Homo-oligomer: A and B are copies of this chain.
Amino acid sequence: MPSGPSTDAERDAPALRRKGELTAGRILDAAEALFAEYGYAGTTLRDVATRVDLRIPSLYNHFASKEALYAAVLERGIGPVLEILGEFNAQGASRGNPAAVIERVMQLLQRYPNLPRLVFQEALAGGHRLTPMLRERIAPVFGRASEMVVASPGAGRWTAEQVPLLVLAMYHVLVGYFVSASLFADLNGGDLLSPPMFAQQTALLREIVTTLFPADPIATP
**How would residues 188 to 220 of chain A score, 1 for a CB under 8 Å from any chain B CB and 0 otherwise?**
101000000000110110011001100000000
- Once the chains are docked, how many angstroms separate the CA of A124 from the CA of B43? 13
- Decide if A22 is an interface residue (CB 8 Å cutoff): no
Q: Given that A166-B204, A176-B176, A182-B127 are contacting pairs, would A142 and B187 also be in contact in the complex, using a CB cutoff of 8 Å?
A: yes
Q: Which of A155-178 contact B (CB under 8 A)?
A: 157, 161-162, 164-166, 168-169, 171-173, 175-177
- For chain A, the count of residues having a C-beta within 8 Å of the partner chain is 51
In the complex, what residues of B have CB within 8 A of residue A39's CB?
39, 41-42, 121, 124-125
- A169 touches which one: B166, B187, B204 (CB < 8 A)? B204
- Decide if A139 is an interface residue (CB 8 Å cutoff): yes
Q: When the two chains form their complex, are residues A124 and B121 in contact, meaning their CB atoms are under 8 A apart?
A: yes
A-side binding surface: helix, strand, loop or mixed? helix
Nearest CB of chain B from residue A69's CB, rounded to whole Å: 17
In the complex, what residues of B have CB within 8 A of residue A183's CB?
122-123, 126-127
Binding site for B on A (CB under 8 A): 36-42, 117, 120-127, 135, 138-139, 142, 157, 161-162, 164-166, 168-169, 171-173, 175-177, 179-180, 182-184, 186-188, 190, 200-201, 203-204, 207-208, 211-212
